[in-house]
Amino acid sequence: MIKAGIIGATGYAGCELVRLLSAHPEAEIAAISSVSFEGKKLSEVYPSYIYLNDMVCENSDEVVSKSDVVFAALPHGLSQELAAKCKASGVKFIDLGADFRLESEDEYKEWYGGNFLDKGLHKEAVYGLPEFFREEIKGRDIIANPGCYTTCSPLALAPAVAKGLIEMKGIICNCASGVTGAGRKPNQGNHYPELNEGFHAYKVASHRHTPEIEQTLSKLSGEKVTLTFVPHLLPVNRGILATCYADLKEGVTYEQIRKAYEDFYKDEYFVRVLPDGMCADIHNIKYSNFCDISVHFDGRAKKLIACAAIDNMVKGAAGQAVQNMNIIFGLDEKTGLTIMPPAF
């Protein structure tokens, strides 16, 4: 059994890791930690886990010492030193935060205000979006697990980008996320009276996920991609819907677009390219590691409209992290992640 440790287990992504790993046939949770709730049982923080997981939150050093792999579900700026400790101890490290996602230190400084503490570790880190970078992930020690927007938007656009069917200028990613994406710590913006029956954009053209989406699409296209990213906050707990717009290259037909998506994802279990006439819907992927994609062709405006839906806590966080764990330990990457989404 793989011994898995979770640092930051009482946050939303952390407790979702607990839920998924508890049902994993090849892994067991060795230890958990939480700064806010050290010494408390996880079931005291989340009563739904009572008698199912009554583990006590320890400190991070204890978690590392007991684990084969450590998942860090922490805010940015807190994972680099942990990664170094894990590397020194021969422990695999999967970071659900942003510390290892950007390859450019200049971009990291610009968007996160920090520095690369150990440039060698950053060179070793692999970006963990399996559908694109599976071969690079295998057997690696440090995985930068993508976030929710940075998973959903590239998955929506990848086939058109990789096949050169769209222009690389003028791409727009218009995304809406459930409130769990804001984390467990409450603030005015996710206070119930402020959020309920509302729907608004935030951090317009200034969200930190922008350079990460551009980085992935630039790798797939072979040229620099600059896009417009506009996130919105949905008054629901879970889910992300990305609606992405791009100009088609001259002469590109819907049949070419459709074939590109079906071919690109034909062997990807977790990506479901929906039949013509269907639209991706967060209702249909809840609690699962699936990404549903619907492809739409605006012949009049000569645009591709690609919609993608994921559960931001699963494929957009904990589920993808478990998928990455499966890959680096040589397991079938579906292991522990094949649960069907509920129908209602």
Same domain, 21 and 139: yes
pLDDT in tens, 17-32: 999 999 999 999 999 9
- How many folded domains does the chain comprise? 2
Same domain, 187 and 288: yes
In a domain, 336, yes or no: no
Same domain, 39 and 105: yes
326-341 mean pLDDT = 97
pLDDT the model gives residue 165: 97
Catalytic residue chosen out of the listed positions 86, 148, 152, 291:
148
- CA–CA distance, 341 with 262 (Å, rounded to integer): 22
- CA–CA distance, 156 with 245 (Å, rounded to integer): 10
Same domain, 26 and 141: yes
Question: Is the pTM of the predicted complex or chain greater than 0.85?
Answer: yes
Between the CA of residue 183 and those of 13, 70, 177, 313, 314, what are the distances in Å? 8, 20, 12, 10, 14
In a domain, 216, yes or no: yes
pLDDT in tens, 35-92: 889 999 999 999 999 999 999 999 999 999 999 999 999 988 889 999 999 999 999 9
Is 148 considered catalytic here?
Answer: yes
CATH of the domain at 140: 3.40.50.720
